[in-house]
Amino acid sequence: MDYYWYIWMMNVRLTQEQKTYVLNSDDVYKIMQQVLLRENKIGQNQEHFWAIGLDSQNKVLFIELVALGAVNRVNADPPDVFRMGIYKLAVRLILIHNHPSGSLKPSDADLSLTDRMLKVGKLINIDVADHLIISTVSYVSFKNEGIMDDLLHSGNYEIISKEEAKFKQWKIETDKAIDIAKKMKKKGYDVDTIKELTGLKKWDINRL
């Protein structure tokens, strides 16, 4: 594909009405519904993945079509999602994709992708404020549903130091040892045997 044709295709031309301030998910949907309705019938039957970039006052800086997929899937990677946001000095991004089926229920893939982008955004100081799944007649907002808050604390896709990683691994192994020790105590194993098999200290075992 010719490079200049690719750039033209991926950047959505904003009308004067769309060069506005976004206050809530309804505002985002009004803009993106118009964008989706511009597509012909064949285009509307493909999943699209867009990113809207906002400045510190929530003014729309750009709308970019990041990826175009099939009827029931679309793939987007962090470099593609954040490229324009970095270039335009966006403070926050809103992610949007459509479901041609009309179903607005987030899939596991939708949640995982959003979680990943949220954590990458934290790393590069661009806030991923929301993710909307849209159709030509309605939408669902991850932020309104509380999904963004849940993903923020999911523990997935976190970048941590070696010390934190070692502590987390130690905690996992210790929790497993404690669980095994509890089961052994219930079956009547003596403390010395439990200590030998689990590596726990006698004092810890006696507290169980």
Q: Which domains does the chain have, with CATH numbers?
A: 3-152 (3.40.140.10), 162-207 (no CATH)
The tokens describing 184, both together, are 């052994």
Tens digits of residue pLDDT in 80-118: 999 999 999 999 999 999 988 888 999 999 999 999 999
User: Interior CA angle at 135 toward 51 and 31, to 5°?
Assistant: 50
Nearest to 123 by CA among 171, 85, 173, 176: 85
Reply yes or no on whether the pLDDT at 41 is more than 80.
no
More confident residue, 162 or 206: 206
Reply yes or no on whether the pLDDT at 18 is more than 60.
no
DSSP state of 9: H
Reply yes or no on whether the pLDDT at 19 is more than 70.
no
Reply yes or no on whether the pLDDT at 21 is more than 70.
yes
What count of residues does the chain have?
Answer: 208
* Whole-number Å distance between alpha carbons of 59 and 8: 22
Average pLDDT, the chain: 84
Would you place residue 17 in the very low, low, confident or very high pLDDT band (cuts 50, 70, 90)?
A: low
Reply yes or no on whether the pLDDT at 5 is more than 70.
no
* Whole-number Å distance between alpha carbons of 112 and 151: 9
Tens digits of residue pLDDT in 123-159: 999 999 999 999 989 999 999 999 999 999 998 887 7
